[in-house]
Every structure is written in structure tokens, then in C-alpha cells.
Structure 1
Amino acid sequence: MTVPGALERLRAGNSRALLTLLATAGPMSRADLARGTGLSRATVSNLVSTLIGTGQIAETEGRGTPHKGGSGRPPVLLTLSVPRGGVAGVDIGHEHIRVAVADRAGTILVENVTLVDVDAHGAQALDQAASMVLAALRTAEVARADLQAVGMCVPAPLDRRSARVNTGILRGWRNLSPGEELERRLGVPVFVDNDANLGALAELSHGAARGIDDFVHVKLASGLGAGIVLGGRLHRGSTGIAGEIGHVQVGEDGEVCRCGNRGCLETLVAAPRLIALLQPAYDDELSTERIRALDETGDAGVRRVLTDAGRTTGRALADLCNSLNPQAVVVGGPLGTSASLVAGLRDSIDRYAQPDTAAAVSVESGELGDRAEIIGSVALAIARVSARRG
């Protein structure tokens, strides 16, 4: 027999699951919520009725599409109601800090970015991030007391046990817990994740992975990482470092990686390595933006290097696809829109993944570009606030 207290706790947990899914994935039908949470349709229907009654969610005027393109009436979509207050997102990259303030529905009110050396100066970077959040609140005319939470992106693996980043990658962040430090500066809860994971969360809610429950978001930038979404939720692993495909060993006698191992995949395909390979053949100074432009115009050298990088990365992704059987691979980072890179990934997945696995997965560029991480940070803050108050 189920005791009343246990039943209430179960109901509260199921409500939080629905609210979190709506916060991360955006408007969904009742059937989508059932599939995304694993709850029965009857349970979802009862919970939705209660949450509509309490004003936490609402039905939208728009309609969705039947599951998997089937026939039938378009389903009614549900969305989070817009409660009072706001959230902030902080995207800390290796060379920039980007801050956004948004309402509780995720609409960004103010967004600012500044260039700064983040890797060597962790405490100073967090000081500047806090100052930028406060300035953005003033510009957005959101009272500091109305700030509910902050989502923060860091460009390194984050250990869930210690809440600290890998200081081999961020050398100036030793003994720093980014979330605790920014929370102390701002006085509100701060939730932290890495850039590949938050890029995945952004593409899930607002980008190329909308409506896709199982996908891998690959970010190729100064390093290489992947955010894994399974069943509509981020999969972080037991210690928070799932998806670190950049540190798959591809050669025992390769270059020493910043992680301390030798022959890691990212030593061959990270953006600085690709720029170094190409620079001797070009008079003007290369950047990821310049390389991307040369790829679009059909430059033979750039296309060869990017295609090779895609194929090398795709070999590791093929193994991951065999294990996870995702519906899509979404490519992000400054070279994510490169057609040559995407084609190389596709070639290797077709060659090395099981035929049925390869046939099931699409490979495409992300839609959000360099704003993916800030959008993901905002989505993380909203999801945690919604879960806490569900």
C-alpha cells in the first residue's frame, strides 16, 4: 500500500520532471511529455490539468505536428507560463565573457560580450562576469531582488563531485569552484555546466535538434567535446564528464595533450591545430572565420584539411553512434557550419558505424552559432528554477 506522503512526493517529482522538460525543450504536446518523461499518458494528463490550474503552464494558441509525421489532428502544445522575475546566463569562453538577462520564458532582454583572457585569470574573470550581470540587470530594468538564478557555461569538463573544472585546461582556475564563486558574488543560485553540454541544451530547445530526443552535439573549437542528449535529457555521466571524445586516444606516440595524456583526438583536429596546418600556405593571417569563408568559396587546401578533420573526428563518433544509436549529430563551434567538415563526419560515420546505425543518424550543422552557449546557459537556469518550484 502506498502511503499518502510517498504518493505526494512521487507526484511532486513527476511534476518537476514535466516542468524541467518544458523548460529545456520548449512547447510540447501531452504525448511528447509522456514520451520524454516515461510517464503514462493518463498521469501526464492529470499532472497537466493541475499545473494549468496553478498557473505554472498554459496551452499555446499554436499547434504541433503529429508524432513522426503521422496523420491526425495537430496536438495542442503546452508551455511554461511566464512568472515574475528573470534569470541570467553567463558564457565563459577561453577568450570572452558573454552575459544575457532573460525573462522566465527564455526571452533574452539584454546581451553583452567582452573579450578577456579567461584561462589565466579565473577570479578576475568571475569578478567581471558578476559586474556584467549586474549591469545587464540595470539595462533590462530587472531588479536584482527579482533575479531567480544564473546558468553558467565553462569551457572545460566539470567534475560533479567537486564542482571544479579541469585545471589542466583552465590553468588559472586552480582551487576555484566557479558556481560557488559566482553565487557568492551575486547572492543567487548559480548552476554550471560545460560548453558542449549547454550547446546541446540550446540546440535541443531552440536550434537544429528541436523535436529530437536522442542526439550528440559535437563542438569543435579550441578543443573538442560532445554533449549527449538521451530521451530528451542531457546525459552527464557519473562524474559529469560524459562526451569528452576529444580525449579518445588515436595514437600512443602522438603529441602530449593539455589533459596530460598523449595522442588525444583533439591534438589533431582542434581549431588551433587546423589553423597551424593551413597557415604556411596563406599570406594573410588565418582565423576560424577566414577558414570558414575559404571553405565556402571552394578553396582546395582548406577543404582538404577540414574534410580530413571531419573524417578523423567521425571515426570516434562512429563508435559513439554504435553505442548510443542517436537520431542526429549536430555540429557546433566556430567551424560547425563548414560543409567540408560536416561531409567528412558523414563519410566516417557511414564507413565505420553499423549500417543500420549510420542510416538512422543525420549529420548537420547547428543553427545557433556562437550564441549556443549563452542560450543554453539561460535554458539551464530556467530549468533549475522550474524544477525547484515544481
Structure 2
Amino acid sequence: MIALLLEVNGITMYRTGVQHTQAATGSQTSLREANRARVVGAVQQHGSLTQVELAGITGLSPASVSNIVTELADAGILDTSPSIRSGRRARLVTLARSIGVVAGIDVGARSMSVALADTSMRILATETLPLAPDHRADMSLQRAAMLVHELVESVDASADELLAVGVGVPVPVDVSSGMVSSTSLLLGWDGAAVADVLATVLRAPAAVDNHANLGALAEARYGAGVGRDPVVYVSVSHTMSAGIVVDGKLLHGRRGAAGELGHMIVDERGAVCRCGNRGCLETVAGSAALLRMLSVSHGHLTLDDVIARGLDGDPGCQRAIADTGRSLGAAIATVCNLIDPDIVVIGGDLVASGELLLAPLREAVQHNTLASSSGYADVVAAEFGREAELRGTLAAALDRARALGVLGVIS
């Protein structure tokens, strides 16, 4: 069993990756440490919880939970605040920020979002800014670092409280080096040493991955994919890609290019894609293709315009979203035939259109997937919606901090 040793204000805590920790027989000290670890682990996994909820999750008595929470709050490990649950007064418990904060940076094709969170994954501050279509790695990473510094200051934290940073980018990444491994998908980012650049500027360890992989991580660990395996997450925005989680681990492939759904060839005589191939899924179902469908009838629209008009009942926008869903669903069916996932989670900007996208997508998946006596994979919207990738960057930052012993040492 892997345990993490956390020492805060003189109190030593042992955390494990499982919900319940067995103490050594006959050792009251070990039992107390194990019970503390249960409480801290539950808050870290689920975020803010009342003491009643903590008792239910940990299996400890309400009195024991109350005593432990009081002790750890006095030590600066937990924070408590009054709250109301089901019409009754309650004591809300969160991890104290004195343990530190993590930052997440999600770089998209047209925008960048940055978030700051405590070690229980409670988001403290966020910021989003637009990016030029041809944004380059050096300028974008400088702006990201500036935003992280601003967010740290905005919550009255200091730079040395930043434990780690997680970064998602819309291209394949060699996670072992933190470098972009693609050579044609995002102009100005080929071979960018994202992890090294941010670690140097922010003076904190950095973890970098494809943003769809991080969306998959967030949804499998905290969202719609909890308790499901395998999990396939598909990000549908200005670009599209997939993240695959099997046995709780992300599938990266040889050079980080696993899950590049947008560059699956669907029409070998189709339009030339930005990657240099012909007939990729992005040329048929990407945002540019969707907007082209509507250019003659609707003029210039943004992706958000199409979603809003479709939800308002515009038949042309609804048709364009549905056609995109069908094309995407047929491609996802191929992934289902290869991976046989338990659930397919759809995220990214276009998921905001709801069933306008999901209904035809789901129908196409079922129509093109090999029939099974256990039925088809569930196809659902991401629980975190457009924020799935950003949540994943925070999860990656926490994982990086743990792996390097910033949150404690492996014992």
C-alpha cells in the first residue's frame, strides 16, 4: 500500500489511496493516525463536506469526526465554517489553504483558462482570456504564468504556497518530458518544452498533457465516469480529441498521440486537414465545418452563436449540430469497437448544446457499434461541462505534487 506522509504544524498524517485505512492491531496511536487520514482523505477526494457527511463516508462515529475535525482545525490542517444543509445548521469542513494551492492552465485553440485550487480541489479563483488563432507557445505561456501570479495574489497567498501547476494543451504531449510531441497540429507549439518553461517561471513543478486526457482524468476520477471502466472522454470544441482511461490510468501511447480522434480518416478523398492528411474527422465535424454549413444561410457566426440559436429553436443551427453529432458518433463507434468502454463522456464547448448534439450522436454510436448482450456504452454529457479539462489540470497538478513529495514523502 502506498502511504503519503504529511506533517503540518507538528501533526503527522498518513494518507492512503484507499478510503479506509487499517491501523496496526493494538496500537492506539496508529488508530488515531488512520482515523485522521480517513477524514483528510475524504475531504481531499470530495471537497467541502459537513461533519455528518464525513461520518457517513469514513464510517467513523459523529463524535469521533467532531473531535478529529476540531483537532485538525486547531493544527491548521482543516478549515471549518457554518453552513446550512437541508434547512439545518451544519459545520462545513474543507482542507486549510495553509497546506498550499495548485494551479491549472487549460490552453485551447481560441482561449485559455487558468484556475487556482486548494488541495481538496476546491476552486478558489479562475480567469479566462481569448487567444489569437495563431497563438504561439512562448507568448501564451508567459501570459499563463502572469495569470497564475495574479490569481495567487488575488487569494492573498504567497508564491511559495504554489505546490504545482497542471497544463492542458490541444496537441499530443510526451508526458515524460513535458514537451509537445506533434509537429503540425498547432503552429508555434511544435516541440515546446511547456513543463520546463512554466516550472522555471513559476518555481513550481509542472505536469503537462493533452487537454482531452485531462478532461478524461477529471471525469473518471470525480465526474460522470466515477466507478466506470474503461472511460472514454471526447472533447468537442474548435478542435476535437479523446482521452481514454483504463484501470484508472490514462492511455498515452508511444508519444502521447493516443486519442487523436479528430485526425481519424473518415473520407480519404475529403478536404485537406491542418495536420496535412486528407479527410480527417475535424474536416467533417469540427467547428470550422459546422460553421461552413451555416455560412450561406446565416452569415458569420461563432460556435457560441450556433449553440445559442440552436437552443432557441433555430432549425438550421439545430440541423448543423445534429449532423455534427452523427458524424462524431460514427467515429466514436469505431473507438467503442476497439476499446469497449463502459461509458463515453462528451465535453468541450459544443456539449453546451445538450441533446441537440447528444441524441443524434448517441444514436450513431449505437447504430455503428457491435451489438452486445450487455447493451451499448452509455453516452453522457460531462458532469463538469466545459470545465472538465480545467478540472483535469488541477488534478494533474495535485498528482505531480504528490509524486514529487511536495505534499509529503512516499513511505
Q: TM-score range by the shorter chain?
A: 0.7 to 0.9
Aligned to 1:187: 203
- Code of the residue aligned with 2:34 in structure 1: it is I
Deviation, 1:197, is 1.0
| Aligned 1:182-221 pairs, distance under 5 A | 182-221=198-237
Change beyond 3 A, Cα 1:302–1:222: same
Q: CA deviation at 1:15?
A: 6.5
Q: CA RMSD in A?
A: 3.1
Task: Specify the alignment match of 1:335 in structure 2.
Answer: 350
Shift of 1:51: 7.2
Quote the offset at 1:20 in angstroms. Answer: 11
The answer (yes or no) to whether the contact 2:346–2:382 under 8 Å persists in 1 is yes
d(CA) in 2 for partners of 1:244, 1:81 = 37
What is residue 194 of structure 2 aligned with on the other side?
178
Kindly name which structure, 1 or 2, has the bigger radius of gyration based on alpha carbons.
2
Measure, in 2, the Cα distance between the counterparts of 1:379 and 1:315: 31
Alignment correspondent of 2:138: 123
| Helix, strand or coil at the partner of 1:203 | helix
- Asked whether the 8 Å contact 1:118–1:125 carries over to 2, the reply is no
Q: Which amino acid aligns with 2:294?
A: L
Q: Deviations over 1:293-331 (max 9, x none)?
A: 232233322222222222222122112112222121111
Q: C-alpha distance in 2, partners of 1:150/1:232?
A: 21
TM-score, normalised relative to structure 1:
0.80
Q: Does 1:114 align with 2:96?
A: no
Instruction: Point out where structure 1 has 5 or more consecutive residues left out of the alignment.
Output: 1-10, 23-27, 31-43, 65-73
Residues 1:278 and 2:260 are matched in the alignment? no
- Give the equivalent residue in structure 2 for 1:52: 34
The offset of 1:231, in angstroms, is: 2.0
Report the CA distance between 1:340 and its aligned residue. Answer: 2.4
Contact 1:90 1:152 in 2 (8 A): yes
Contact kept in structure 1, 2:175 and 2:208, CA below 8 Å: no
- What is the TM-score normalised by the length of structure 2? 0.76
* 1:294 aligned residue: 309
Q: Secondary structure at the match of 1:137?
A: helix
Residues 190 and 305 of structure 1, relative CA distance in 2, 3 Å threshold: same
Mapping for residues 72-111 of structure 1, pairs under 5 Å: 76=58, 84-111=99-126
Change in Cα spacing, 1:177 to 1:323, as seen in structure 2 (3 Å) is same
Report the alpha carbon displacement of residue 227 of structure 1 after superposing the two structures with TM: 0.9
Cross-structure match for 1:245? 261
Describe the superposition over 1:104-162 as per-residue Cα deviations: whole angstroms up to 9, x where unpaired: 11111121122232743221111111111111111112211121100011121113465
Residue by residue over 1:213-262, the C-alpha shift from the partner in whole angstroms, topping out at 9 and shown as x without a partner, is 32211111122100111223322223222111111111221111111211
Contact map agreement 1:196 1:225 (CA 8 A) in 2: yes
- Tell me the equivalent position of 2:66: none
Match of 2:392 in 1: 376
Residues 330 and 364, structure 1, Cα contact 8 Å, conserved in 2: yes
In 2, Cα distance between equivalents of 1:370 and 1:355: 31
In structure 2, relative to structure 1, the CA distance for the partners of 1:337 and 1:156 (3 Å cut) is same
Quote the offset at 1:49 in angstroms.
6.8
Equivalents in 1 of 2:362, 2:59: separation in Å? 34
Contact 1:88/1:149 (CA < 8 Å) preserved in 2?
Answer: yes
Q: 1:135 aligned to 2:147?
A: no
| Distance in 2 of aligned mates of 1:177 and 1:106 | 26
Q: Secondary structure at the match of 1:380?
A: helix
Q: Which has the higher helix share?
A: 1
Alignment partners' CA distance in 2, 1:358 and 1:352: 16
Is the Cα contact below 8 Å between 1:58 and 1:81 reproduced in 2? no
Counterpart amino acid of 1:52?
A: A
Q: Classify 1:214/1:174 alpha carbon distance in 2 versus 1 (closer, same or farther; 3 Å).
A: closer
What is aligned with 2:370? 354
More strand, by proportion: 2
Q: Report how many aligned residue pairs link the two structures.
A: 350
Distance of 2:280 and 2:15 partners within structure 1: 35
In structure 2, how many angstroms separate the alpha carbons of the residues matched to 1:94 and 1:186? 23
Could you say what secondary structure the match of 2:163 adopts?
Answer: strand
Q: Which has the higher contact order (CA 8 A, sep 6+)?
A: 1
Give distance in 2, aligned partners of 1:151 and 1:86.
Answer: 12
Distance in structure 1 (CA, Å) of the matches to 2:258 and 2:304:
29
